[in-house]
Amino acid sequence: MAGRDGVKLLGYWASPFTLRVEWALKLKGVEYEYFEEDLPNKSPLLLQYNPVHKKIPVLVHYGKPLAESLVIIEYIDETWRQYPLLPQDPLEKAKARFWSKFADDKCVPAIFGTFTNVGEEKKKAANEARENLKTLESGLEGKRFFGGETIGFVDIAAAWLGCWARMVGEIVDVKLVDEETMPELCAWLENVLEAPIIKDCMPPRDRLLEHNKGFHKMLMAAAST
Amino acid sequence: MAGRDGVKLLGYWASPFTLRVEWALKLKGVEYEYFEEDLPNKSPLLLQYNPVHKKIPVLVHYGKPLAESLVIIEYIDETWRQYPLLPQDPLEKAKARFWSKFADDKCVPAIFGTFTNVGEEKKKAANEARENLKTLESGLEGKRFFGGETIGFVDIAAAWLGCWARMVGEIVDVKLVDEETMPELCAWLENVLEAPIIKDCMPPRDRLLEHNKGFHKMLMAAAST
């Protein structure tokens, strides 16, 4: 049973890549059946549907699987036309793809590096993360959301990242998202996270923090053996 | 003067990322004015048009700049509708985006790792490159080109990669593209590189080989100091 729209989503509750796909489906009002993956024991369904990466999220639409969260979101946007996520204008569309790629290629590794490293390496990664988040801010060009007045492609691609950067900062005691140096990015983040559909779909903060603290402990233990 | 179509391209002759954009423009028959960048001394135009990455290629269309080669190619495909590069069907389009991303995220770093490392690290990167190229081959699904009967998005995104993998193999004496283990990928590569528009736009092989040999020598000298 994959609901009225024939959609299944294989995901993991604490995965930001799953979350962004859920946000896209919810904003569109697409019904889907959600399958929680046990990541240390991946389901045969996941291995069958994403043999290349063996990673979540995977969207299955009437039996046809798709992987890679941004690719999935573009598919969702092209298949269900209500509430468009990408702008229609090719130049604006290119800008949205550019900033989403920038978030994934430049911000994610730097934030993750702050989380997984210690000492000088951690400091270096934190500086890089701050610098890249500041650059991401420039993509707002003074607008409320990346796409203008409503939440769109870049907002759902990048908002979890601001959220995660804050949590990482809290766990490893480093400020990555700074109200003083990046006020526009902070205001944007609040605007996205306060939007009802987005807010309703967020995992509980305490549970997420506990989960990430546990993950960090495990990483540090592995690094010191 | 940016030609009939108002297009300028800032590139570098030996850059495969520039090459794939040129292939897209040529396949579409879009006129453009080409500006060769001197990479150690980037032009003020490049710094102005791509302040985020400061990298080529940059496409400028009636004064509006775009960066990131795959983003540029999608823009070209949406702006000039003749000779479509991406399929129309959302699922097939998603597959094309998936494989282009796979080529960039998985094949490029492994091939580059084979080029820049020595000893065990080089061996490890070469194994990874072969494995990833074999996975890329599976995306062909028995077709002549990734998109079917004509050269499309994935073909222009990935063909230089096969070409470059061969050249890297020659320079560092490791076989990455193997006729025996990946016959379909090899046949595909020949089909793409033999297509007149693609062939006419390739830099001369001897000059490219010499350039990459020089680059490799420089990398090895830097690594041993």
Say whether residue A55 is in contact with chain B using an 8 A CB cutoff. no
Question: What are the pLDDT digits (tens) for A53-71?
Answer: 999 999 999 999 999 999 9
Do residues B75 and B22 touch, judged by C-beta distance below 8 A?
no
CATH superfamily ID and name for B7-79: Glutaredoxin (3.40.30.10)
Confidence class for position A2, pLDDT limits 50, 70, 90: low
Residue A67 CA: distances (Å) to CA of A17, A103, A194, B163? 11, 18, 28, 27
Residue of A nearest to B80 (CA): A90
Asked if A98 and B66 come within 8 Å (Cβ–Cβ), the reply is yes
Question: What are the pLDDT digits (tens) for A35-45?
Answer: 999 988 999 99
pLDDT reading at B1 higher than 60 = no
Say whether residue B122 is in contact with chain A using an 8 A CB cutoff. no
Output Rg (C-alpha) for chain B, integer angstroms: 18
Q: Class assignment of domain A90-223? A: mainly alpha
Residues of B in contact with A66 (CB under 8 A): 91, 94, 98
Asked if B74 and A94 come within 8 Å (Cβ–Cβ), the reply is yes
For the ranges A32-36, A72-76, B163-167, the lowest mean pLDDT is seen at B163-167
Say whether residue B68 is in contact with chain A using an 8 A CB cutoff. yes
Question: What are the pLDDT digits (tens) for A74-133?
Answer: 999 999 999 999 999 999 999 999 999 999 999 999 999 999 999 999 999 999 999 999
pLDDT reading at B219 higher than 80 = yes
Do residues A78 and B91 touch, judged by C-beta distance below 8 A?
no
A51-55 — which CB contacts under 8 Å span 24+ positions?
Answer: A52/B102, A52/B135, A52/B138
Which residue intervals of chain B bear CATH 3.40.30.10? Answer: 7-79
Say whether residue A137 is in contact with chain B using an 8 A CB cutoff. no
Say whether residue A223 is in contact with chain B using an 8 A CB cutoff. no
Candidates A168, A164, A39, A53; CA nearest to A104 is A164
Which residue intervals of chain B bear CATH 1.20.1050.10? Answer: 90-223
